[in-house]
């Protein structure tokens, strides 16, 4: 398992830095793929990583008290 440094996924972070963390695993996994399909699959994997980074950029979890307030609002509607 690869150790992830403590940093937020945000536009401030360089996509290349994040991709380089996954690159050894991508290369190792591609060895199980036929040679003719490796380049295409590598590109697809990198695209999926980019898409997921974008999801993390746009995701904001509520704080504890915001979460409790939301739960209480839902309880009050029942």
**Structure confidence by residue, pLDDT tens digits, 10-63:** 555 678 888 999 999 999 999 999 999 999 999 999 999 988 887 777 777 888
What pLDDT is stored for residue 1 in this prediction?
45
Q: In sequence order, what are the residues at sequence separation of 6 or more whose Cβ sits closer than 8 angstroms to the Cβ of residue 10?
A: 56, 57
How many other C-beta atoms can be found within 10 angstroms of the C-beta atom of residue 20? Answer: 10
In this prediction the pTM is 0.59
- Picking from 2-6, 32-36, 65-69, which range would have the lowest pLDDT averaged per residue? 2-6
What pLDDT is stored for residue 35 in this prediction?
93
What pLDDT is stored for residue 53 in this prediction?
84
Domain boundaries, the chain: 11-58
**Structure token digits, residue 4:** 């992830």
What pLDDT is stored for residue 25 in this prediction?
95
């Amino acid at each position: 398992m690869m150790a992830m440094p403590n940093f937020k996924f945000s536009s401030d972070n360089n996509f290349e830095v994040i991709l380089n963390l996954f690159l050894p695993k991508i290369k190792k996994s591609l060895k199980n793929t036929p040679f003719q399909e490796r380049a295409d699959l590598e590109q697809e994997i990198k695209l999926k990583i980019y898409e997921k980074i974008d999801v993390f950029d746009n995701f904001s979890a509520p704080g504890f008290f915001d979460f409790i307030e939301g739960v209480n609002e839902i309880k009050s509607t029942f």
